[in-house]
Structures are given as C-alpha cells and as structure tokens.
Amino acid sequence: MTSLIKRASAEARAFKRARGDAGHTSYASDTTQAPRAPRANSRDLAHELSDRPTAGKRKRGAEPAESAPTLETPRKPRFAPVTFSEFDGVRYLHFGTEWVQGAMRLKKPFDIELEYAQQMMAWLLFLAPPKRIVQLGLGAAALTKFSYRQFKRSQVDAVELNPAVVIAARSMFELPPDDRRLTVREMDAWDFVNDAENAGTIGALQVDLYDATARGPVLESAAFYGACRACLAEAGVVTVNLFGDHPSFLRNMRNLRAAFDGRVIALPEVHEGNRTALAFSGPALSIEWTLLLDRAKVIEKATGLRAHKWVTALRESCAHAPAFVM
C-alpha cells in the first residue's frame, strides 16, 4: 500500500529518489481510450458480514444578496486538466497539478491503494453491506471499483461533475461500464444530495470532493452535510476525507456535528494530513472494542482491508474509552 498523502507529488517523490528515473512516467490526456472490460468478480461479501451494530465540485457559499446581478444562462463549469503519472507500478491521477487525486496499483486495479481511501470504508465496522453505496467525487474510482466488486448485493453509484474524470476512470483506472449494479452520474454532488428521490436510500455515503487546489472539500456547509444525512437510510454512515492540518478541517467538523447532532468522529491523520471523519445516523451505538476487533477480523478475511487499524484509530480518537459510544 502506498504511503502517499493526497496533496503529495508523485513526480517529486520519484525525482527525489533519482532525477529522470526511467521507471517514472508523467503524461497528460485530453482524450482517452475506450473503457476496458471489467475483470472477473470476487466472491460475494454480503452474506459474510453480519448485521451486528455496525462529484460534484461547485462550492456553495451564502445566498446571494437581493441586489446581486443574475445570469440569464448558467455558467459552464471550468475544469482543470486531467493528468496522470506513474511510479513503482502505481498510476496516479492529478488535476493539472502535482497533488494526487487518486491512485491504482497496476497489478491490483480493484484494490484500494491509498490508506486514507481504505479508511473511507470504515463504515463496514458498523454496517453490513447496504442495498445502496454512493461515492461523491469519483477520482480514480478506487472506492467505486472496490465496492462494486466486493458487494454483489449492493447498488453502487458514483457522482462526478467533470466528464473527463469519468473518462479517465474508465480508460486509465479500469472502472467497468455501467450495468444493473453500477451507475456513474455526471452531475453536481449538491444537486444529487438535494434530489428528493435519493432521500432515505443510501446506507454508506463516501464523500471525497476536492478540486485541483486540493485545499479542502469544495462542498462543506452544514446545509450540504444535512442533505447528506437526509439521503441516509434508517441506519447509515457518511465518511468524509478531510485535511487535518488545514483550516478547513475545523470548519468541516463543526458543520458535520451540526448536521449529525454531534455523532461525528475523526480518525487520526494518515500520511501527512488526511483524516477520515465518520458521521452516524440511526440507533445509538455502544460497542465493546473486542466486538469491533472481531468484526475487523471478518472484514480483513473477506476483503483484505486492514480493518484492525480502523479499530485502533477509533480507540485512539475515543481517548481509549472502555467502549465505542456514538
């Protein structure tokens, strides 16, 4: 698994080791190839996990003043170029900058390469794979591909505003084409979470909404997180990728707590800044750590994810309380 922060430069790391290393490739693409065929499916995980308690990218600000000018036609979104680099058998996604927006190990395209992205699956400690899993912000499609391959009884949706990111995911990162279980929607995440048809339908909602500057989520208001909560089923979890060493972290945590009645916890940072926040909706939870570790073993055996590390991180975030209470 690559130890790489979301803002880190794949190019810089490569050239730091050996300037002009022949094993490193960096390239950009305005057009990409047709999607590759999906690989063979792995075994169904849904029946193995118990029911035990368990992109859009336009920033929304305050409502415009009454005196503000209005536009007769909506502005066309402006997107940063989608670029790529490769080093040590890993392909990286960039938005025209050195900052990494996703990664895939070429020999294991359906695995989750980056540790922070693995933590985005920590909802598995509390939920059996739900009927519907949604990813806001497609990136390199790591979470979308993993969920699609592992959870055969789940509908998997991804929401991405930039059509070039969708093309890149399918041509460069082996995202399968849409079928009866997989749907990629080219739309704004704000519109998606505010669509009444999505209310109460999602068990696990994974939010990773960054633009080319990668300085903080581009959707982060209490209203946005409240709309995310409204999309959850009776018992559901939202995971959010945040930057712990950026001012946006405290703002996002405050807005998440407001939207989820304080039922939010942030894991310690991985790499050099990424922190995953978990927000809970549904019945109150009180789970002994030994039970969570048992659950982690089941997850690890079925998926290969390092779930025991999530339990360790949760316990640290809970100041080593005798049980996980949320």
Instruction: Return the beta strands (E) in 193-281 as ranges.
Output: 202-207, 232-243, 264-266, 274-281
Looking at the domain assignment, is residue 123 inside a domain?
yes
pLDDT of residue 96: 84
Q: How many domains does the chain have?
A: 1
pLDDT of residue 247: 82
pLDDT of residue 1: 58
What is the Cα gyration radius of the chain? 19
Looking at the domain assignment, is residue 84 inside a domain?
no
Angstrom distances, CA of residue 103 to CA of 89, 116, 209, 220:
10, 11, 15, 24
Looking at the domain assignment, is residue 205 inside a domain?
yes
pLDDT of residue 49: 44
3-class DSSP state of 138:
coil
By CB atoms closer than 10 A (0-12, 13-18, 19+), residue 73 is: exposed
Which regions of the chain are under pLDDT 50? 3-75
Looking at the domain assignment, is residue 105 inside a domain?
no
pLDDT of residue 248: 86
Range of the domain at 258: 113-325
Angstrom distances, CA of residue 9 to CA of 94, 244, 268, 269, 279:
9, 18, 22, 18, 30
Looking at the domain assignment, is residue 6 inside a domain?
no
Domain holding 177: CATH number?
A: 3.40.50.150
Residue type, 82: V
Looking at the domain assignment, is residue 73 inside a domain?
no
The structure tokens listed for 195 are 């669509």
Looking at the domain assignment, is residue 96 inside a domain?
no
Full-model pTM: 0.77
Looking at the domain assignment, is residue 50 inside a domain?
no
pLDDT of residue 79: 78
pLDDT of residue 212: 60
